[in-house]
Structure 1
Amino acid sequence: MTLDRFVVVPAAYVFLLRDGAPAAGGGEPEVLLQLRQNTGFMDDHWAAAAAGHVEKGETAYDAARREAREEIDVGDLVLEFVTAMQRTRGGEPIDERIDFFFSTRTWSGTPRIVEPQKCAALEWFPLSALPDPVVPHELAVLRGMIDGGVAPYTTFGFPSPGGIDE
């Protein structure tokens, strides 16, 4: 029996969170997002401030910390696991992915653009007022974080029910 197998591509994402400016009742949480450019994937979309592929022999936690250092020059992240998302694009088995999403409220350094060829802007946004457009699968996770309903395992892009697709 021949099985059609594919390689799953792992990636790690980091959402930096902070309390926003105080308002009546306290500051609303904000998330740091980057505006993608010249990457060939979702250019001109807002995305996690730091994200990238998990390298051979690296854990998703290690990849998240490495990407944060490489892309926005922050370290000492205290990561909180948000969800693992199995994702595909249009059912193309060649494009199966597993994305590990983390958030953090604790880090050292001041976030800055390290790769200006790939990042046009880096800005804080209230979770209730995200920019448009945001990379769709990342937006699904952010909405789940806002609602407090992100399951430890989620899917995106599959025709079967049970995912968090729009």
Structure 2
Amino acid sequence: MLKAKVAAHLILVNGRNEILMLRRFNTGFKDGEYGLVAGHVEDGESLKSAMIREAREEASIVLSPDEMEVVGVIPSLFDEYVYFFLSVDGWRGDAKNMEPDKCDDMRWFHLGDLPENTVSYIRQAIGNYV
């Protein structure tokens, strides 16, 4: 029986209608392309708990589970993953790159002007969100 792996992705949009994106670097998957704060959901961990952990580890921001909601699900075309997308109404802290060994750029992009080199399924999820 195939057991799908789960990854959580954060759709973090500021008051200027900009989304926080990270350019992948030295990860072995989609390096050089922009994605979102994201990570694997560990055994026994909820989607929201994983997203809270990843946001802190990757971007030094603090999320509240009460302000998060699942806004999209995409089954992977590459492997056995299912990608969940969560949005959040608010957060604490200023986003900064906490993993320069895995991300060589982190910045805000207007939702209507995503970088050309955005991971395809990420672009699809953002398009579905807006």
TM-score by length of 2: 0.93
Q: Which residue of 2 aligns with 1:12?
A: 8
1:38 aligns with 2:26: yes
Q: CA RMSD in A?
A: 1.1
Q: Pick one of 116, 124, 145 that aligns with 2:108.
A: 124
Aligned residues: 128
TM-score by length of 1: 0.74
Q: Pick one of 74, 79, 87 that aligns with 2:76.
A: 87
Deviations 1:2-22 (A, max 9, x none): xxx3231101011110122xx
Q: Distance in 2 between matches of 1:38 and 1:99?
A: 21
Q: Distance in 1 between matches of 2:63 and 2:121?
A: 26
What percent identity do the matched residue pairs reach?
A: 34
Return the letter of the residue paired with 2:6: P
Q: Which residue of 2 aligns with 1:25?
A: none
Higher relative contact order (CA 8 A, sep 6+): 2
1:133 aligns with 2:121: no
Q: Pick one of 28, 35, 41 that aligns with 1:47.
A: 35
Q: Which runs of 5+ in 2 are unaligned?
A: none
Q: Pick one of 93, 101, 105 that aligns with 2:85.
A: 101
1:76 counterpart SS class: coil
Larger Rg: 1
Deviations 1:37-80 (A, max 9, x none): 000000000001x1000001001111011100110011134212
Write out the 4+ residue segments of structure 1 that deviate beyond 2 Å after TM superposition. none
